[in-house]
């Protein structure tokens, strides 16, 4: 195995360790342990190569910190069919990207909100999803928004009846919300993240 391929395999192990511990190895000795190296010197050389490649960077006190490139994932050349199966093509990779760069276009204006309930089920937004919301007080009719109605957050499609806003669910079991008093737009729905890994329940606003 060439050094570049070996470094890539070590990088994958470091990513798995980072996701498990939510932190980089605390020392070169710990990095060597994670990667199965016999000495901290081998970890030092790997660290320097990954820093030179812009994947890691040196932090205060000799700590090693991840850059955005550390979290990049490979993008396959081929697409995957959601209909009838297609012939399997040789695996190749055209690019790398981070999920954040794909899902988030304006980080300073973006928040994640936990979806609770199934009122937007038919729009493909399910209970437990993380809704990617761009903070803004302006929205156009037909956009899915997070609105604050009488102090409560809700995720619905914005419609109008005359000049009056109506918040439309995408589930026939729910009725439209016609705000009787105060309503403001909190943000516009820009996408969602859904995990199929078993996870512990996490808190979040009910939308």
Alpha-carbon separation of residue 75 from 6, 24, 98 (angstroms): 20, 24, 10
CB 38 within 8 A of CB 18: no
Our answer to whether residue 63 is catalytic in this structure is no
Selecting among 39, 45, 94, 119, the annotated active-site residue is 119
**65 phi, psi to nearest 5 deg:** -120, 145
Strand pairing report for 152-161 and 130-135: unpaired
CB 170 within 8 A of CB 118: no
Selecting among 108, 156, 175, 195, the annotated active-site residue is 156
Our answer to whether residue 163 is catalytic in this structure is no
Just list the catalytic residues: 119, 156
């Amino acid at each position: 195995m060439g050094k570049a391929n070996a470094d890539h395999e070590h990088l994958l192990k470091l990513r798995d360790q980072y996701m498990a511990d939510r932190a980089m190895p605390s020392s070169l000795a710990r990095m060597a342990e994670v990667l199965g190296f016999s000495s901290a010197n081998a970890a030092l050389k790997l660290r320097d190569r990954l820093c030179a490649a812009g994947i890691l960077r040196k932090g205060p006190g000799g700590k090693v910190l991840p850059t955005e490139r550390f979290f990049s994932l490979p993008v396959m050349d081929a697409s995957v069919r959601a209909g009838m199966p297609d012939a399997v093509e040789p695996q190749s990779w055209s690019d790398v990207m981070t999920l954040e760069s794909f899902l988030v276009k304006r980080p300073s204006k973006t928040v994640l909100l936990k979806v609770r309930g199934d009122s937007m089920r038919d729009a493909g937004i399910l209970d437990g999803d993380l809704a990617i919301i761009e903070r803004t007080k302006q929205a156009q009719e037909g956009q899915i928004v997070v609105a604050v109605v009488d102090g409560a957050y809700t995720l619905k499609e914005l419609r109008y009846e005359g000049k009056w806003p109506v918040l439309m669910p995408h589930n026939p079991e729910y009725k439209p919300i016609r705000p009787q008093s105060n309503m403001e737009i909190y943000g516009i729905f820009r996408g969602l993240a859904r995990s199929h890994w078993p996870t512990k329940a996490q808190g979040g606003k009910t939308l």
